Amino acid sequence: MERRTVISLIAIGAIAVTVLLAGCVEKKNTLNLGYQPSTHQLAAMVAAEKGWWEEDLAKFGIDEVELFLFPSGPPEMTAMLAGDLDVAYVGTAPPISALYEGLDAKIIAGVQTQGSAIVIRPELVEDYERDGVLSLKGKTIATYPPGSIQHTILSKWLSDNGIDPETDVDIKAMTPSDAASAIGAKSVDVVFVPSPHPAIIEDEGTGTIVKWSGEIWPNHACCCLVASGTLIREHPEIVTQIIQTHINATEYINEHPDEAAEIFAKWQGADASTIKHSMEITDAQWIHDPHLEVESSLGYAEVIYGINRERYEAKGIEPLREADIFDSSFYDELVG
């Protein structure tokens, strides 16, 4: 067989394989989006309330965007590991924990920094003002489960101040609503939860905010936007549009905070005046630039690796690097 003929057959074969592979890419009509009942993830709710998700994604064949509510990040990432979510608003720590466990996904945009608070029972405030974090030794603290932003920051803060989070305090994993009920019932002494829950607890008179998370870890990453590896590889045009819609929603929140608070209250059945108060006092910043979350996310990756070092090393798992966690290429192309 002549060389030219062989090359032609190879070319025809390559084209056929490409066509077959293209045929394997599933046409996408529905987008599954995860989020949590926190003002940190207001962009998801604002875009949904305005109808922007369906309106912006219709030109790519998406005729339905389903929003799934999760109590915290770890179960949300369990759903993404199972392939049930295409994209998720979530704290940066849960996807990092899930990446160590084999999650196929990347952070594609920033969502929000800081915004959680230490809230303690009013009768313990005097002890805290006198002894600071050491007054928490022996106390029961409610926060999100291991692998979450709040649990990671709380564990580091306690350890940095000589308190063993495993033995010197009793950390109980709870949703923010359950934590608010628990401090009201005095079954826990302290809670560490995201906005708007610190303001809700203060308004109910059952707790006092003594420290914002930005005072513990300045400018720390909190929530981010995560896309599944399948969505990134097979539908990059949809990923780009999701980021653009998220940027538009984020800028709307910053320009119209009172309306954004009313949207949150409507979606979560909360009191609008309390949510507006929360947005006034929180140290949260609503952002969309993923680069603002890289440094502290790598810090979370280090903390999470340290907590699980023995198990990870036994599996040959190495500490995650920026390229393992982030794909900023879509955002960078959008903003130039």
Mean pLDDT by 10 residues, the chain (336 residues): 42 44 69 96 98 97 96 92 97 94 97 97 97 97 90 93 96 94 97 96 96 95 97 98 98 97 96 96 97 95 91 96 98 94
Give residue 27's pLDDT: 81
Per 3-state DSSP, the chain is made up of helix, strand and coil in percentages (nearest 5) of 55, 20, 25
State whether the Cα torsion 320-89-243-229 is positive or negative. positive
Q: What is the dihedral of CA 227, 229, 234, 239, to 10 degrees?
A: 20
Provide the pLDDT for residue 15: 42
Residue-level pLDDT at 16: 44
Specify whether the CB–CB gap between 36 and 73 falls below 8 A.
yes
Task: Mark 228-261 as b/e (b = at least 16 C-beta within 10 Å).
Answer: beebbebbeebbbbbbbbbbbbbebbeeebeebb
pLDDT for the residue numbered 307: 85
- Cβ atoms 178, 142 nearer than 8 A: yes
Q: Are 116 and 209 in contact (CB under 8 A)?
A: no
Residue type, 111: V
Q: What is the pLDDT of residue 336?
A: 83
pLDDT of residue 143: 96
- Would you state the pLDDT for residue 10? 44
